[in-house]
Homo-oligomer: A and B are copies of this chain.
Amino acid sequence: MAAFTLHTTAATSPSSPAGTAILLRSRSRAYPLSTVRVSCSAAAAAAGKTVVIGLAADSGCGKSTFVRRLTSVLGGGTEAEPPRGGNPESNTLVSDAATVICLDDYHSLDRPGRKARGVTALDPRASDFDLMYEQVRAIKDGRAVEKPVYNHFTGLFDPPELITPPKILVLEGLHPMYDERVRDLLDFSIYLDISNEVKFAWKVQRDMAERGQSLESIKANIEARKPDFDAYVDPQKQYADAVIEVLPTQLIPDDGEGKVPRVRLIMMEGVEHFEPVYLFDEGSTVSWIPCGRKLSCSYPGIRFAYGFATYFGHEVSVVEMDGHFDKLDELIYVETHLSNLSAKFYGEVTQQMLTHAHLPGSNNGTGFFQTILGLKIRHLYEQVVAEAERAAMTAVDAAKPILEL
């Protein structure tokens, strides 16, 4: 994290007035003059192009875990951290390569406001998409912005923080693909699609075990969120370039525990700079139980499937993993048999999974596919940069006077 410097002064960069203007035009709230500035010292980031990634999911569905894995891959092994010296309640994470902003920061209504109007955070009326669009647009154009900060503890807004254009900007939240203008700014979009059964099992595990909630209140909470979730969050998956779908296992008959997930990585075809991962034979239909003579797995084993399908009218490739990894052997064995992983060295997925062994999903398809998507996004970024560099070189060449005749 040494590459990052933090300034708690009034923004002085040439781009900040524009950001402030955007902020003030869309908001009626008053902002203090002193803002937190997050700037990346890597010259390349300032000069380069910002690649924008959308990451959509319901709350409690693994966005923050995904962000940890993603920034770890993108940042070369270092983990993303909240802006140093900034607001400790900031939702932003920064690493060498990426800045992750939480779209809750674009709430147009704070918690009392939502309560007063009877609007949930899932309802787009609680978000300021104009501001979201303008600020993402500004960052993509290379300008810093003063982004609002929603404080999840108080339910109110804290002073805004300055975001300078990173190499990769990740927009994580409920609605990164809801607004068409914002959606069009995304270079790649991901939707985490957790089935109701698994979502319930996860919430029970987290909210009942860790927060002492009753089963009934968890159920009631899920039910209360469902209509808005179905209306405003879930439909975004049709716009995703990749979907991680988490379903109950099929390895254990009538499994009610939801501890063993069946995870599907759904990858849109024809996305620029994104070559779908495949198993054995690209474009065919495969099912694979790696456990056998060479690999022994504990109950209920692991089953992979690969094939293609139509997803909201798009051609997609799907890699599915049912079951969980028990040992490193299993993980590296599986990684070896997948193709188009965009890894930089043999066993990189396994190494990443081991580095984050403590994170949820490290022994199943959620962590595995999150890590793989991290590699794919890094590859996409590198290709976008290489393309921009080639375009710049071509422009320079075209501008040269023709001397050799």
Contact = CB atoms under 8 A, between A and B. Distances in A.
Interface string A259-288: 000000000000000000000111111111
A292 interface: yes
Interface of A: 280-295, 307-308, 337
B284 A290 contact: yes
B283 A294 contact: yes
B283 A292 contact: yes
A293 B337 CA distance: 20
B280 A289 contact: no
A285 B284 contact: no
B281 A290 contact: yes
A286 B286 contact: yes
Contacts of A284: 288-295
Contacts of A292: 283-285, 307-308
A308 B290 CA distance: 12
A288 B289 contact: no
- The secondary-structure label for the interface of chain A is loop
Given A284-B290, A287-B287, 14 more contacts: A280-B281, A280-B286, A280-B337, A281-B294, A281-B337, A283-B295, A284-B288, A284-B294, A285-B287, A285-B288, A285-B289, A286-B288, A289-B307, A293-B308
29 contacts: A280-B280, A280-B286, A280-B288, A280-B337, A281-B288, A281-B294, A281-B337, A282-B293, A282-B294, A283-B294, A283-B295, A284-B288, A284-B289, A284-B290, A284-B291, A284-B292, A284-B294, A284-B295, A285-B287, A285-B288, A285-B289, A285-B292, A286-B286, A286-B288, A286-B289, A287-B287, A287-B288, A292-B307, A293-B308
Contacts of A286: 280, 286-289
A294 B308 CA distance: 12
A307 B303 CA distance: 13
A288 B290 CA distance: 14
A278 to B, nearest CB: 10
Q: Which 8 A-B pairs have the closest CB atoms?
A: A283-B293, A285-B289, A283-B294, A280-B280, A287-B287, A284-B292, A283-B292, A284-B290
Nearest to A315: B293
Nearest to A317: B293
A99 to B, nearest CB: 37
Contacts of A280: 280-281, 286, 288, 337
Contacts of A281: 280, 288, 290, 294, 337
Contacts of A285: 287-289, 292
Contacts of A293: 282-284, 308
A297 to B, nearest CB: 11
Contacts of A287: 285-288
Nearest to A337: B281
A184 to B, nearest CB: 28
Contacts of A291: 284
Nearest to A293: B283
Nearest to A301: B285
Contacts of A337: 280-281
Nearest to A306: B288
